[in-house]
Amino acid sequence: MIGFITKRLLSTIPTLFGVLVIVFVMIRVAPGDPALAILGDNASQEALDAFRDRMGLNDSMLVQFGRFLSDLAQGSLGTSMVSGKPVVTSVMEVLPYTLELALGAIFFGIIIGLPLGIISALWRNGWLDYFLRVVSLLGLSFPAFLTAILLILWLSIEWRIFPVISSPTGGPIDRIYNLILPALSLGVIMVAYIMRTARSAMLDVLGEDYIRTARAKGAPGRRLILHHALRNALIPIVTVVGLYFGLLIGNAVLTEIIFNRPGLGKLIVLSLNQRDYTTLQGLMVISAFLIVIVNLLTDICYALVDPRVKLK
């Protein structure tokens, strides 16, 4: 197990390096000047020059990249061009908020999507199945920001159940309470994905010979579905959850802005607007690493769900 994890982490180094190169080049190729963005239009030429000099922006791109890599090798992601704070610190400050948001979204995705998917499969081609399939299609096609705004209008303004601005402060109860609405709005897409996957996975599994064997043993319907079928259907569902975790981090940007929550998404947008190269680079490295970790966890989950999978 430990050997497997080490091997997997080492094998991600080339991927991460690729991500680094792309991010590094893209930020610098994109129009906009950090000195101008940070010091403002009225800054004097001397001030701008001094800033560029201090940040090493006058060096060639290769030199800058070399400096970035050597920092990284020492475990540092550099300091923010704007605030002067270490990038790691500002990312770690907001990372928990994004993680709890993403986990909340997955939680809703599973507790709503999984049962609906199973129901849909059991009543295949019945009116309930058609209804749920249309709803899940809507869930997939609704842009995340629209879902969020509708939920705020409905649950916060009309019914006053949840706060409009869900700042994650206070004790654990408050924090969870504040999380519900953003997680739900981000989770809508997860509900739809999990429901559709669960439906098709259950339909596949219910047609398998071993389900017939279980019926021939006299296993009652509930046991047939929850024990014999679901265990097998979990394999594709785990894949979907793992795969769309990255998508959630991306979508979290909008959710965080609409609900005015701190998080990776908001930090990305802010750094982008300020052309804060160092923070952006750091954010990308950490996001990419996060996805690598999630993929690793997904693989470990496979081995837990399916005894045929061996971690080597």
CA neighbours closer than 13 Å in the CB half-sphere of residue 174? 7
Query: Of 85 and 223, which has the nearer Cβ to another protein?
Result: 223
For the chain, what percentages of helix, strand and coil (3-state, to nearest 5) are there? 80, 0, 20
209 scored as a contact of another protein (CB under 8 A): yes
Quote the CA–CA distance of 162 and 251 in Å, as a whole number: 21
CB of 236 to another protein, least distance (A): 13
Give the residue, chosen from 164, 203, 247, 305, that forms a contact with another protein under the rule CB under 8 A: 305
Q: Interface mask (CB under 8 A) for another protein, residues 262-301, using x and -?
A: ----------------------------------------
124 scored as a contact of another protein (CB under 8 A): no
125 scored as a contact of another protein (CB under 8 A): no
CB of 198 to another protein, least distance (A): 16
CB of 220 to another protein, least distance (A): 5
Contact assessment for residue 182 and residue 251, using Cβ atoms and an 8 Å cutoff: no
Query: Of 228 and 266, which has the nearer Cβ to another protein?
Result: 228
Q: Which residues contact 263 (CB under 8 A, 6 or more apart)?
A: 94, 97, 98, 101, 252, 256
Quote the CA–CA distance of 90 and 302 in Å, as a whole number: 34
217 scored as a contact of another protein (CB under 8 A): yes
Cβ atoms within 10 Å of 214's Cβ, excluding its own: 18
62 scored as a contact of another protein (CB under 8 A): no
**The total number of residues written for the chain in this structure:** 312
Burial of 216 (0-12, 13-18, 19+ CB in 10 A): exposed
CB of 54 to another protein, least distance (A): 60
Give the residue, chosen from 215, 226, 260, 273, that forms a contact with another protein under the rule CB under 8 A: 215
Query: Of 158 and 209, which has the nearer Cβ to another protein?
Result: 209
